[in-house]
Amino acid sequence: MARIRLTEILVGAFMVLGFVALFFLAMRVSNLSLASAENGYSLSARFDNIGSLRVRAPVSMAGVRIGRVTQIGFDQETYQAVVTMHIDAQYDQIPSDTFANIFTAGLLGEQYIGLDPGGSPDMLSAGDRIEFTQSALVLEQMIGQFLLSKAEEGGE
């Protein structure tokens, strides 16, 4: 009887560990985090086209995730997308002439912001705006431009 009870307890503990592992896997896949967003600072950038960039998309530098996108808005005066990013506190030495690009990662096409540091001795601080940006490449626009150029070549 005690042996059966011990087996039931071990199976129950194994099931609980399995559910906890699935929970953390789901959090990781959905780009959610249990960590507090209080440590760090915010930066913003303006883009002509953000493609399918989403809130909670990674912000990386040299392939290392240094933050996340926290807000996406639209400026009705300049007709640009305004992206706000939360950068982790430990990455506080980002040059002021840093370049922000929107890249596509993986086969599923998840988009993220990649930062390329400049050479300025001045550093970005909380609330600053990244001035140099490159919008997302939209596949439909690229295909359209390719077909248009081929049609013009054929017409000559």
**Per-residue pLDDT reduced to its tens digit, 118-146:** 888 999 989 899 999 988 877 677 788 78
Q: Write the CB contacts of 97 (distance below 8 Å, at least 6 apart in sequence).
A: 118, 119, 120, 131, 132
Pseudo-torsion of CA 45, 50, 54, 55, nearest 10°?
Answer: 20
Angle CA(138)–CA(143)–CA(144) in degrees, nearest 5?
Answer: 100
| pLDDT at site 41 | 93
| pLDDT at site 31 | 57
DSSP 3-state assignment of 28?
helix
| pLDDT at site 32 | 59
- 44-53, 73-82, 101-110: which has the minimum mean pLDDT? 101-110
Q: Can you tell me the distance from the alpha carbon of 147 to that of 112, in angstroms, rounded to the nearest whole number? A: 28
Q: Can you tell me the distance from the alpha carbon of 2 to that of 150, in angstroms, rounded to the nearest whole number? A: 79
Q: How far apart are the first and last CA of the chain?
A: 90
Beta bridge partner(s), residue 58: 68
pLDDT single digits (tens) 38-51: 688 999 999 999 98
User: What is the β-pairing status of strands 129-130 and 132-134?
Assistant: unpaired
Element at 42 (helix H, strand E): strand 41-47
